[in-house]
Structure 1
Amino acid sequence: MHFAGPRSSEIGNVRVERKNRESVEISWETPLRDLIVSIYMGRSPVAIDRRSPAAKVRGKINVRISGLDPGTRYYFEVMPQGGPGVITAERLVPLEGPANFRDMGGYATSNGSRVRWGHIYRSDNLANLSEKDRAVLKQMGIGLVCDLRTTPETSKWPDRLPDDGSIDYLQIPIIHGEREFDFYWEKIGRGDVGWLTENFMIAANKRIIDEYGEMLGKIIHILAQPETPPMVFHCAGGRDRTGVCAALILLALGVPEETIIYDYCLSGVFISKRMEVINSRIRARGVDPATVALYYTAPPHFFVPVIEHIKEAYASSAHYLRTEAGISEETLDRLKQKLLE
C-alpha cells in the first residue's frame, strides 16, 4: 500500500501499534531531522486533551505511550511543531471476544481528505462479547449494530449486546454463496470440501455485489443520516459480507482501490492471530482445521476480482452506487460531509 510522504513540517504514514495490554507505539514519517513532535490523547477523536502532551520528542519518528487502561479506547493527535496535527488510533479494537473488530477511520481519499475515526466500524460476529468488551463498546459511543448474518445464524449465535438497550440492533441479512451458512458447514462435516476453492470465494463475493445492492445501499443510507450514531456492521467472520459492504462505503467516500484491498487483507492478518482458538472451535464441530484453512485467509487476489467486477459489470463504482444501491448524489454528499475531514 502506498502512503504519500510528508511535506514541509507535516508528518505522514502515522501508525499506532499495540505493544502489550497497557502500551502502544506511535510512529510517523518526516523529512525533518530535528522536528519536535507532541502526542496528545483522549477517549474520543473530538475530545483530545491538548492541555499537556502525553509525550514530546525531538528528532525521532516513534514514541511509546504506556500506562493505558486496557478497557479504554484511545485516540491520539500527533502534532509536529509548526504543522497540522494528525488524529489517529489503533486500527484493531482489541477485544476479548471478536478477533476482527476495527475502526475504518484514517484512510485517505483521492482528493486528500481522510475518513474520520470513531464513526464507522467493521467486525466479525459479536456473539462472544465479554462484559469488558460490552463496556468498551459503550465507552466508544457505539449506538447501532447492523448484522449482515441470516436468521439461522443469528438464532444460533445472537449478538451479545449491552442489556440496557444503549445499542440498537438492525438485521440486514445477506447470504455468502448460494446457500445458508449451515448448509456449507454440514457439507464440511461430512468431509465434502472440494467446493471450498478460491473460485468459490471470489464468486460468492461477486454474487453479493450482483444480488444485494439494495441491502448494501440501505446501510449506506443509514450511515449517511446525521442522527445515526457511531455504528458497527458485521457478519460471521468479518471478511466477505462485511468486506464487500466496507468496500462500497470506502468507494463512496473516494478512497483508492489499493487502500480498499489493503483493508480487506487486514482480516487475514487479525484472524490469523486467533487461529488457535478458531481451530479448537472447528475441531469441536468434528472438522479437521486443515480442510477449511482457506476460509480463514484474505489474500488480495480474493478481492481484486470483486473490485474489477464492479467496473466491468456496472461501468464504475459510482454507477453501481447510484443504480444498484440507490444512493443519490444528495445522500452521497451527506455521507462525505459526515465521515470525511
Structure 2
Amino acid sequence: MNVERGLTFERLFNVRDLGGLTTVDGRTVRRGRFFRMDDPTAATPADVDVLRALGVRGVVDLRTDDEVTQRGSAAWDELKVRQVRCSVMNFAPPVENYPRYIEPEFCATEYQRYMDEPEIARALWRGLAELSTEPLAVHCASGRDRTGVVSALVLACLDVEREQIIHDYSISAPGMERLMAYFAEHVPHLVPPTEGHRRSFLATPPECMAAFLEAVDGRWGGVAGYLAEHGLEAEADTLRANLLEN
C-alpha cells in the first residue's frame, strides 16, 4: 500500500492519486482524474484490473525510446488507453552523478533540463491537456524524478499550495524502497551498483523539490511564466478546467 492517497498494487510500487490537493484559492484537484506512477510493465493481471477500475483512459509516458523498446507498454496496450509518449530526458546522466540526486542544488539544475526543449515542452503540455478530459496517468520508469517533476509542474500550473507540491514529491521514498526490493528479487541487474547510488535512489528529499521550484521562479517567474513563454496558456486553462473543482 502506498502512503497518502496511495493505491494497492502487486507490481506497481509508486502510485498515487493527486486528487484532493488544494489550491491557494481554495479549490481542489479532482479525485480519480490525475495519477502518477512508476512503469507498469511488470503489472500483474490483478494490477491491470485495478488500473481498469480506476478508469484510466490516457497516459503520458515519459520514458526514453530505449526504455520503451526494452520494456514495452503491455498494460496500456491491453487497456487500450490513449498514449502520448514524450521523453523529457534526452540525455544520459553520467553514472558518477547518480549519487547526487539527493543534493538540492544539483536536482534544481538537472530537473530544469527536462524543461529546456521547446518542442518537447509543447508536446508534453498539449498531450496532458488533450488527455485531461478523462482520468489520466503520468509515468516514467521509477516514478520519481521525471514523473515527480512533471507532476509538480502540473500541480503548480493548477496553483496547488507549494507546501503540498513539495510534500507529494517527498512521499515517493517508501515506493522506491518497494521497487528496490522487487529489483533485488526479480531483476538484480537493475539494482544500483554503488552504495551512493542506492542511497540516492531510495531518497526523495523535500529540499530537492523546493530548490527546483525556486529555480523555476527565478528563471521564468514561476510555471505560469514558463508556459506563457512557450505559448501554452490555452493548455494550462484546459488543465485547470478539467482537473479542478470548487
**Shorter-normalised TM range:** 0.7 to 0.9
Aligned to 2:211: 305
Aligned to 2:239: 335
What are the Cα deviations for residues 275-323 of structure 1, in whole angstroms up to 9, with x where unaligned? 3223446743585452422122100122211101111111222111111
Structure having the larger proportion of residues in helix: 2
Q: 1:296 aligns with which of 198, 202, 222?
A: 202
Aligned to 1:196: 99
Q: 2:75 aligns with which of 161, 167, 176?
A: 161
Contact 1:148–1:171 under 8 Å retained in 2 = yes
Contact 1:216–1:245 under 8 Å retained in 2 = no
Q: Establish whether residue 179 from structure 1 lines up as the match of residue 95 from structure 2.
A: no
What are the Cα deviations for residues 199-231 of structure 1, in whole angstroms up to 9, with x where unaligned? 54443212113x145434433333334873211
Contact 1:282–1:289 under 8 Å retained in 2 = no
Tell me: CA distance 1:204–1:337, structure 2 relative to 1, closer, same or farther (3 Å). same
Counterpart residue type for residue 131 of structure 1: P
CA shift for structure 1 position 165: 5.1
Greater RCO (CA < 8 Å, at least 6 residues apart): 2
Aligned to 2:177: 272
d(CA) in 2 for partners of 1:269, 1:162: 25
Aligned to 2:49: 135
CA shift for structure 1 position 96: 1.0
Matching of residues 1-341 of structure 1 within 5 Å: 91-161=5-75, 164=78, 166-175=80-89, 178-179=91-92, 184=94, 187=95, 193=96, 196-197=99-100, 198=103, 200-209=106-115, 211-212=116-117, 214-225=119-130, 228-280=133-185, 283-285=188-190, 288=193, 290-293=195-198, 294-324=200-230, 326-328=231-233, 330-341=234-245
> Any idea what SS the aligned residue of 2:212 has?
helix
Contact 1:206–1:306 under 8 Å retained in 2 = yes
> Any idea what SS the aligned residue of 2:114 has?
helix
CA shift for structure 1 position 244: 1.3
Percent identity over the alignment is 28
Count of residues in correspondence between the two structures: 241
Counterpart residue type for residue 304 of structure 1: A
Counterpart residue type for residue 332 of structure 1: A
Contact 2:20–2:29 under 8 Å retained in 1 = yes
> Any idea what SS the aligned residue of 1:196 has?
helix
Contact 2:33–2:132 under 8 Å retained in 1 = no
Query: Which deviates further from its counterpart, 196-205 or 307-316?
Result: 196-205
Tell me: CA distance 1:91–1:212, structure 2 relative to 1, closer, same or farther (3 Å). farther
d(CA) in 2 for partners of 1:18, 1:283: 23
Unpaired runs of 5+ residues, structure 2, are: none
> Any idea what SS the aligned residue of 1:298 has?
coil
Counterpart residue type for residue 114 of structure 1: T
Contact 2:176–2:201 under 8 Å retained in 1 = no
Contact 2:14–2:142 under 8 Å retained in 1 = yes
> Any idea what SS the aligned residue of 1:170 has?
strand
Contact 2:24–2:159 under 8 Å retained in 1 = yes
**TM-score with structure 2 setting the length:** 0.86
Tell me: CA distance 1:212–1:117, structure 2 relative to 1, closer, same or farther (3 Å). farther
> Any idea what SS the aligned residue of 2:75 has?
coil
d(CA) in 2 for partners of 1:226, 1:338: 10
What are the Cα deviations for residues 235-275 of structure 1, in whole angstroms up to 9, with x where unaligned? 11111111111111111111021111111111113222443
d(CA) in 1 for partners of 2:191, 2:182: 15
> Any idea what SS the aligned residue of 1:146 has?
strand
CA shift for structure 1 position 194: 6.2
| Aligned-residue CA RMSD (Å) | 2.7
d(CA) in 2 for partners of 1:227, 1:146: 10
Aligned to 1:6: none
